[in-house]
Amino acid sequence: MKRPAVFLDRDGTLIEEVNYLHRVEDLRLFPATATALSSLKDAGYLVIIVTNQSGIGREVYGERDMHNVHEAMQKQLDGAIDAFYFCPHLPCDGCRCRKPDVGMIESAMADFEIDLERSWMIGDKRIDVETGFAAKIKTALVLTGYGASHKVLLDSQPNMIVEEIGAATAAIISISSGQNHPQA
């Protein structure tokens, strides 16, 4: 049976933005992250991280470093994340997996039975919103991370613009249950 998914950017959306995060000791979850992801799981959503990690391609850090960060996140979040997908390529490489292209979402679609019509993309950057548009799913921009500065760069408006991940997930759950929700 197909389930809706929430595709989430990592840095600036779920965790504090750290330039080329690769050390577990620099990992800082936003205060609302754990509750937000737990609420999504309780509402029946798949929780899937899609993250550009060009620091690997730039040789700033290795793939193992990134996996260590993901393992630490998963531990801090009590296993709430169903899958992590990452693109290690540079922006100039032209790969299909790098956001705003949809390669990571396509990989998730191959691994899970996803109901795209009820799915969302949440992130703090223009490319996250563009990824959602390209995948033809609903979009939410959070104003944490780069969100406040990227809000003005958008060519098209996302379905919602909210302060942080907790507000985004509460609104998504409210929408999916047919309740009214405040537009941020």
**What pLDDT was estimated at residue 183?**
46
Question: Distance between CA atoms of 23 and 156, rounded to whole angstroms?
Answer: 35
Question: Distance between CA atoms of 111 and 126, rounded to whole angstroms?
Answer: 26
Active-site residue flag, 9: yes
Active-site residue flag, 11: yes
3-state secondary structure 103-156: HHHHHHHHHCCECHHHCEEEECCHHHHHHHHHHCCEEEEECCCCHHHHHHHCCC
Q: pLDDT tens string for the chain (184 positions)?
A: 999 999 999 999 999 999 999 999 999 999 999 999 999 999 999 999 999 999 999 999 999 999 999 999 999 999 999 999 999 999 999 999 999 999 999 999 999 999 999 999 999 999 999 999 999 999 999 999 999 999 888 888 999 999 999 999 999 999 998 765 444 4
pTM metric for this prediction? 0.95
**Could you tell me the residue ranges of all domains in the chain?**
5-176
- Catalytic: which of 11, 65, 82, 124? 11
Question: Distance between CA atoms of 100 and 17, rounded to whole angstroms?
Answer: 19
- Catalytic: which of 9, 65, 82, 128? 9
13 torsion bin: left (phi>0), alpha (psi -120 to 50), beta (else)? alpha
Question: Distance between CA atoms of 9 and 19, rounded to whole angstroms?
Answer: 15
Take residue 88 and report the two structure tokens written for it.
């290690």
**What pLDDT was estimated at residue 179?**
62
**What pLDDT was estimated at residue 79?**
97
CATH code assigned to 5-176: 3.40.50.1000
- Residue 101: phi and psi, rounded to 5, are -70, 170
| Residue 129, CB-side half-sphere exposure with 13 Å CA sphere | 22
**What pLDDT was estimated at residue 154?**
83
